[in-house]
Structure 1
């Protein structure tokens, strides 16, 4: 397979710069997910790797070979799109083998590769069917099979599950994870769904407005986000943010106010001044009700109680802002209930409101 390196890659469309000096180093055999909100540049970055868009500045290397001027067909990559893009008049076998047939590959080789891909994707019994006879998940497997038979150095996936219903998305997510384990291939996957990112990736690249915000393993990003954006994007339901203000600073500790409560934290390295606005981040599973060991407590009003059986989510309001709590499935809270909730400092994050950067954790961070 192959490594992928992007060195200060910039993309402009006329005068508009959409990718701003991206540097990435993707290792051989890694499953890398580009994740971020719509318009963040993740699909554009994937298309630059594929050669479907030209790089304005910087360098792209696949397997240590500069690809800036190499045609898409010669880059050793295969791309799976959101649209299945199958030929409706061809069978599954003909769709999967189309690229090899157009390149004049030996018929025996074509048959061998199609048979191998069909085994991996459980399509053996469907090789003679037309696309209209297949479900959405089966069609997407055919599109993936068409990529497998090419035996590329790199697989590129551009939101391949977006057209599927919820149950099929889960099933195909598992299938793609198994495919990566079987092929040990370098895969780059684009999605706006952070659940897909967390469950599939060896490495996540979080993008915002054409910039890379953070790169790391799923759990590293979950436990140690570098800023408020990453903290709020990674995790489902997303992190809660409480408005706070610095009320006292000295060499030993820092005091912040949340509502009418004063909370003292160990001194942090980042410079803070009295009056600075900060945000306290707490994940839904750590914002707990009726916990006597909480470092602080606030009273919230329950707006919606979502009971899912083993777990429940409470969507509540505090000072005009929405908060989410993950509680036991046996919790009986209902709309309109007032409940006291809090969190322990060991589960809290502190962010500078202006820069959105994380301040040094007041307790040792988890890895």
Structure 2
């Protein structure tokens, strides 16, 4: 049976005469609400553009509680762009461990090197010069320079986008040019009437709180009176976004071998997911690179190596792939050859998330089993 597409029954407003929301009035309501309800976050209240920049990059696709735990430690390790620019892969990736999407921190280091080369190791005064750095887009530029310097630049993340799309009952897709321009124009109009630092952060907090993606608590929202979507009872229909693609299910197999306090791993090469981190031998992520473990072992670990029955499985997601990872004990005979090596289980090396998950789940059962060690 063909799956029915869910219709978005947005009301027809032909001939409508209701006044649109007023940017000045909305800015006043937001500022008053933010003074009472602002989230207590460690990067709030500082005006150091470098520290704000680090927090904003961390917050992209990572939950606030995780960033809260890692932000201060990262700044202690790399207190300025100069230290970040001089970092090696191991210290950089270890400091980012647990935050995911490691491409972000590599771009941060590349941008820091550009700051050292062109701007004396400091963020430039001009926002447009900052926007030329690797990994810096309109949102990051707006967030850093409005929060640090109170410049009237919009910082429109997913939260702010949702708040304004509902406020305007925006029928255009929010991430296509016409819709994006209407959202940006309304935010810029608000920034002319109140502190940009306050308005941008208020929009972030409102979208992270009452104006959540599902089941918004409109009765707690400071914009409930002018909000067009609330008036029409259509908050759940906004913003208009393209449907998310369904994740592709994938299965792969990894191998776990222990030797004393070490495990067998390899440095993930450039071009593979999680490059520079320590991964486990096996068929690969996110897509298997070999058809079978037997083929992989024969070509990479030698004829004497042997995989045992699975210790267990766990789920892991990488971009659009939903991966079932099956973990097998590995019995080795003979010396280990490159690219494999023994790595300390409790060291400070940058382990991939899958490696950490595997060790946390299965190293104890492997040790107790005895016969599967190298």
TM-score normalised according to structure 1 size:
0.24
Point out the structure with the larger strand share. 1
Point out the structure with the larger helix share. 2
